[in-house]
Structure 1
Amino acid sequence: MIDVVDQPGPDGGAESLYPFLHAGRADLDSVLAEAQASTVDKIAEVVALRRTVCRRDARRLGDCARQLAERFAAGGRLFAFGNGGSSTDAQDLAGLFLNPGGMDAPPLPAFGLTNDIAVITALSNDVSFDVVFSRQIGAFGRPRDIAVGLSTSGNSANLLRAFDEASTRGLLTIGIAGYDGGKMAESKSIDYLFVVPSPSVHRVQEAQTTLYHALWELTVDALAAGADAAASR
């Protein structure tokens, strides 16, 4: 389900998303004004959504970040995964923790599980797409590691299987979902589940990006605090 602002028409085309582009008018100023209004509305919507998530989950994000920091300090690694646009977000998340840009933060071992296309296609073709993440977690996961899965619907079967595998192996499991959390909200294998409560896949993914950037920053801060505490002893 997609919200009214972003709801496509029966043909799934862009006309119902941006009717001002398909109205057959030659009034450029009017079209630009409507485009501006549409953009402002969408920005206001995602800003409000981000604030809602922050108010509701601030304490849990902090707790989760501290556990991430403890695991990284103990030699743990992070495995991120998702499908489609969430796959891109998972790769971005892994890149944040790896910190290839050399920003003022420690590089942390993080991997995107969709990066190896040979593994993904082999498992999909020879076994099932449902196991593309769980098989990799089973091969690489250790008790001090971390598994982070992203989904807009929360219903992806391959994520649910990956969380089950990770939980069995003692990994810290973190889910980032949209809508009402879907089946991920029912899973007993997810230690921390953060849900972006919107029926719009666009707004969900925009807010999820903010959420995992905040989680990274909080983790870096927790690591720094732990290092300072150790140095003062």
Structure 2
Amino acid sequence: MNYIQTLKDNLQASIAAKQAFLNNHQQQQVFQSAVEMLVDAYRRGGRIYIAGNGGSAADAQHIAAEFVSKLAKDRAPLAAEALTVDSSILTAIGNDYGYDEVFARQVIGKMRDHDVFLGITTSGNSQNIVRALEECRKKQIKSIVFSGHDGGKVNALADYCVIASGGETATIQEIHIVLGHTLCGCVEAELFK
């Protein structure tokens, strides 16, 4: 088997997806608005809570770490939390209320005025992200979602749904991490001039 060709094919798919997003001015404007909203939330004393499943759960932790530690420059920490890391909370909610509720219950219990929820879902249809967004709506908590394909169910629920280009989960996730790094970098640059 030619593994080099597989690598080249994957790199080409990644480049094509990123090029498509680079040319998608509508999604860039959605991202711009999401950054502005998050900067405003931090200025008002809010924090970001991030959630996803599988690889997107790992991305949630990765992005939270960039906010709390740093991305590009030494600065004070920014309050951020991945809702994917407390195994006792996740298993208790999953056992008592079902997996669809693992993020919604945390939104209800943890999030306050000026906080922002960031959901990450390649399909846009992850039911636990949908439920979290429904609770955000009830509590009037601002929300951002990184999605893929046509945006899925979350497109109608989030305040800002940034839809990544790409037909495969892997390429969508690659754009999601660029979006996460850029979101953090923009907030960092704005708040620590």
Contact kept? 1:82, 1:150, Cα under 8 Å: yes
Aligned pair 1:197/2:186, yes or no? no
Q: Percent identity?
A: 30
2:143 paired with 1:143: no
Query: Secondary structure at 2:23's aligned position in 1?
Result: helix
The 8 Å contact of residues 98 and 110 in structure 1, kept in 2 or not, is answered as yes
* 1:93 aligned onto 2:63: yes
Q: Which of structures 1 and 2 has the bigger CA Rg?
A: 1
In 1, distance between residues paired with 2:71 and 2:172? 27
Equivalent AA in structure 2 for residue 212 of structure 1 = G
* Aligned-partner residue type, residue 164 of structure 1: E
Q: Structure 1 residues 106, 50: CA separation in 2 closer, same or farther (over 3 Å shift)?
A: farther
Structure 1 contact 66–222 (Cα < 8 Å) conserved: no
Identify the match of residue 216 of structure 1 among 181, 184, 192. 184
Aligned residues: 191
Kept after mapping to 2: 8 A contact 1:180/1:197: no
Q: Aligned AA for 1:86?
A: S
Measured after TM superposition, the shift of residue 150 of structure 1 is: 0.5
Q: Single out whichever of 119-128 and 162-171 deviates more from structure 2.
A: 162-171
Unmatched runs of 5 consecutive residues or more in structure 1: 1-19, 21-33, 226-233
SS in 1 for 2:166: coil
- Give the aligned residue type for 2:102: V
- Between the aligned partners of 1:102 and 1:222, the Cα distance in structure 2 is 12
Q: Give 1:1-233 correspondences, 5 Å limit.
A: 20=1, 34-56=2-24, 57-99=27-69, 103-185=73-155, 187=156, 189-224=157-192
Runs of 4+ in structure 1 off by over 4 angstroms are none
- Secondary structure of 1:175's partner? strand
Task: Say what the alpha-carbon RMSD is for the aligned residues.
Answer: 1.7
User: What residue is the counterpart of 1:3 in the other structure?
Assistant: none
The separation in 1 between residues aligned to 2:180 and 2:75, in whole angstroms, is: 16
| 1:58 Cα deviation from its structure 2 partner | 2.5
TM-score, normalised by the number of residues in structure 1: 0.77
Distance 1:96 1:51 in 2: 25
TM-score (norm 2): 0.91
Gaps of 5+ in 2: none
Describe the shift of the 1:117–1:41 C-alpha distance in structure 2 as closer, same or farther (beyond 3 A).
same
For 2:139 and 2:162, the matched residues in 1 are separated by 22
For 1:138-158, what per-residue CA distance to the aligned partner results, in whole angstroms no more than 9, with x for missing partners? 011112000000011111111
